[in-house]
Structure 1
């Protein structure tokens, strides 16, 4: 239910709003990008930690934004089967949640200033567009999350941009000097390898959203929230989930066939039984009783797959 029936402490309510169970989606791509940086000999600890902190702040800020805007837009109703939302549930005043969103994004900007010093103005573009995308997902006059574009947002920002951005700041940090006001991207900091490495994190992050949207398909449709699951229906949404998860297991094989990486790149395949188990649920169930646990387990799959992939890349 979207509305809380029992009293919840203020601290617990804020934890519910921040949704710590979603943090693997913020951390996983940074871990993968760092694994590739180690492989390529460009690992830089401080930029890696800053990228991780920035990614987690963006994740939490987006969680606050979704909680606030879904409530004020009427998308969170009493029939929703997902985890309790604090704004719609009346646990925290809407204005406070909005202030928390702004404060969290402001902290992300502070962290981003250091990354701009390391990597130049391209980081400004990445950072500000990430914040704008997080707010516009469910906020603003035309929230694109209500128009079937949420999956694309997650794929791009929690996969491609996050992994490649993490690799970029570390590669840039190893150069003699990068002008913080430079718009040009230094040679060797954006690579095809980084793009391909980002695909599993992009796919599994999107799979989390697909599970969420399959669970909420009926209530989203009733409230006018046109997610991709609402548009595609259950069958094609499940096909999307299979494609996103399947890609996460094809990419490591691709790297294992490259002599530069070899068999350690296959480490993520250890998580395949978990993916198969999740598939049995996602492909047959639509209720919150089954899909709420599946949602958390998909986040765990993302975390485990990313950690093992990063380890495999670093070992080579």
Structure 2
């Protein structure tokens, strides 16, 4: 390898380290709800593009910061090692300072707050309180004396804030209101955001149990948790079907069923597999399901509006 090629390799590796810190496979949980909330607003108003972009970036920043808080506190509590699967690994594998990770997380939150100020100026200052609670939830998921991630309520918390709340904020900043139908259509996305956490906890169940966590996956056991995950998928699809059958939404929302193979892939990937490495594809399929389902739901809402 000549010196120029070696330099390029180092730069690429360095770039990948910072990219892994963001845990990009989880970021769909931040931008998909924004797309759905904005698509819901289409029949009621013209979309304010700068507000949409500000909300999109702020949501991604908060999710990224949450991942960094997770990286920092899992390291501090001795949960992450160089052999851990599915982590960013910037601290334990690549020697990035924990202080640097925390500083970047705080910087991301600060940028999100600045974007939030702009959003509030253009909509309502009530959103400031909601945004603060969202950032606090991201921090206390793994930070503080009683981390949410150590309890059976991680999936519920993630689904509520990164699903329902983000969708409603995205809808509100465009329309100035919140509707019952908007809340109802938020439910399946909230479930699938929670499913990403459930899949992660299924994969990490044995290690988490050794380190004193009491996640839902630990309480249910491997097979019970996989069945629960399958139930989450089923409820998400049935919820959309019910919305259509009750005439709240048009059949275009049935497009979400094109994501069903990913749900099947995820469940099959967890059945009969017990090691972290074996379950990584199932974890990936769950994140991809959230992305595909949410995107198809947003497209269905758009086609409903156009027709």
> Which TM-score applies when normalising by structure 1?
0.87
Change (3 A) 1:153 1:260: closer
After TM superposition, give the deviation of residue 152 of structure 1 in Å.
1.5
Q: Which residue of 2 aligns with 1:138?
A: 142
> Residues of 2 paired with 1:35 and 1:120: CA distance?
20
Number of aligned positions between the proteins:
295
> Residues of 1 paired with 2:90 and 2:82: CA distance?
12
> Residues of 2 paired with 1:8 and 1:220: CA distance?
32
Structure 2 residues without counterparts, runs of 5 or longer = 1-9
> Residues of 2 paired with 1:293 and 1:91: CA distance?
27
Instruction: For residue 39 of structure 1, give the secondary structure of its aligned residue in structure 2.
Output: coil
Say whether the 8 Å CA contact 2:45–2:174 is kept in structure 1. no
Change (3 A) 1:248 1:124: same
Q: Which residue of 2 aligns with 1:254?
A: 242
After TM superposition, give the deviation of residue 71 of structure 1 in Å.
0.5
> Residues of 2 paired with 1:40 and 1:237: CA distance?
40
After TM superposition, give the deviation of residue 130 of structure 1 in Å.
0.9
Structure with the bigger RCO (C-alpha within 8 Å, sep 6+) is: 1
Q: Which residue of 2 aligns with 1:72?
A: 76
Instruction: For residue 214 of structure 2, give the secondary structure of its aligned residue in structure 1.
Output: coil
> Which TM-score applies when normalising by structure 2?
0.90
Do structure 1's residue 192 and structure 2's residue 196 form an aligned pair? no
Q: Which residue of 2 aligns with 1:279?
A: 267
Q: Which residue of 1 aligns with 2:4?
A: none
Do structure 1's residue 221 and structure 2's residue 209 form an aligned pair? yes
Structure with the larger helix share: 2
After TM superposition, give the deviation of residue 122 of structure 1 in Å.
2.1
| Superposed CA RMSD | 2.0
> Residues of 1 paired with 2:289 and 2:114: CA distance?
31
Most deviating of 120-129 and 255-264? 255-264
Structure 1 residues without counterparts, runs of 5 or longer = 1-5, 173-188
Change (3 A) 1:230 1:88: farther
Say whether the 8 Å CA contact 1:81–1:287 is kept in structure 2. no
